[in-house]
Chain A
Amino acid sequence: MALLEVKDIHTYYGAIHALKGISIHVDEGEIVTLIGANGAGKSTTLNTICGILHPGEGTITLDGQPIHELPAHEIVMRGVSQAPEGRRVFGRLTVIENLEMGAYARSDKAGIARDMERVFALFPRLKERAKQVAGTLSGGEQQMLSIGRALMANPRLLLLDEPSMGLSPILVEAIFDTIRQINSQGTTVLLVEQNALMALSIASRGYVLQTGEIVLHDTAAALQENEMVRKAYLGIE
């Protein structure tokens, strides 16, 4: 059974029909990517999964349990956490305080301390800057913090929204390496990206979104070879 099963969800912003029947599934241990242009509905999909938005129709199940009617904070407790688009770290809080906020839903002190060490092992830079206020970090460091903060919830499913946004190519490489590492430690990842090339290189499967609909679903390798994907998202003629 799939870890996450999204079935035919429709999400609306007022009268705007943003998601028009999206169905995806993510199996335990996978990296799955959602690629698509600006405004295709990638972030809306993630926000609907983690409960910040609620679908008008359709169902979302985690381990077979429906979660689409739960408020966001309860979905976190069930093991889904997100590093949002644009990083959105708490700028006035220190790195440590940001990470502690990530573990807000938990009460197991030993587990929190262990995960803090895990995050610092993944991102040694964050350890160096532990006492610095997050607003003064560089873009790459803020991205690391945003991912680290999401990991502090000890999620089974990690949602990453455009982790490459605004970063230099070298940093993007480093971040994607870390994502692979996080995955190999046992966390399932659902990755939303505009940088399709990078995303497909680490994912096992991918979905292509266009104006609120899934237009393509295949293995990452097959998508890399797909004529339409190559033209539209990889910039390869």
Chain B
Amino acid sequence: MIKEIKEIYAYREMIATLVRKDLRGRYKGSVLGFLWTFINPLFQLLIYTMVFSVIMRSGEDQYYLFLFVCLIPWMFFASSLQDGSIAIIREQDMVKKIYFPRAVLPIATVTSGFVNMLLTFIVVIAVTLISGRGINAAAIACLPIVMIVEYILCLGVAFIAAALTVYLRDLQYIFGIFVMGLQYASPVMYRVDNGLVPDRLLWIFRLNPLTSILNSYRDCLYDKVIPDFGQLGYGLAFGVVLTLFGFFLFEHLQKGFAENF
């Protein structure tokens, strides 16, 4: 285990190269190029603002921000699962031909999604400031902790998804459907604790590690309070266990990768 982690550390430049390639390649060929990383969420926010403050009015006073501060972490999670599931098969030519620690591929996928989220959060924080909602410095300071907890959870998910999908290609589509459903079992579009969700379904949300993580994001950015670390601790514990399990599973299954294409 220690040996494997050391080796992955030695390959950190490869991870960095893959992340750079992915971020740069995302908007490849477009005139504005990398700027789209910022333009995209900005316009998405603008549309939400119009829809939710003019057409669909909800109980939240700034619903578009309420939604957005959780939608972005949610999309990071969703992409970790979906892009993660094809992390190995997408690079099968390389896997077949040369050696490198295979864990590098899902790590790079998750890291790339993470960096993308960080960049998007620049837009979010800017809009929060401009819209007059304001920020609480102490709460914002907690944000990196929340992000790291989510990163760990995503890593575990990506390890498992990447390794299994090599052996069963259908999983990439099954994960797509799973993600669609999971969004509504997570507090992305609504709060869990204000009575909207029926009591008999609450256990789903309590079990879901994303509930603790997304609530913490909302605490930091929307409600401007220091997140409940007790709640976040559940997400962290879940993430660490999943990542350890995922890594062992991945290391076990990776021996057969090159023969399965």
Are these two chains actual partners, yes or no? no
Interface residues of B (CB under 8 A from A): none
Residues of chain A having any CB pair with chain B under 8 Å:
none
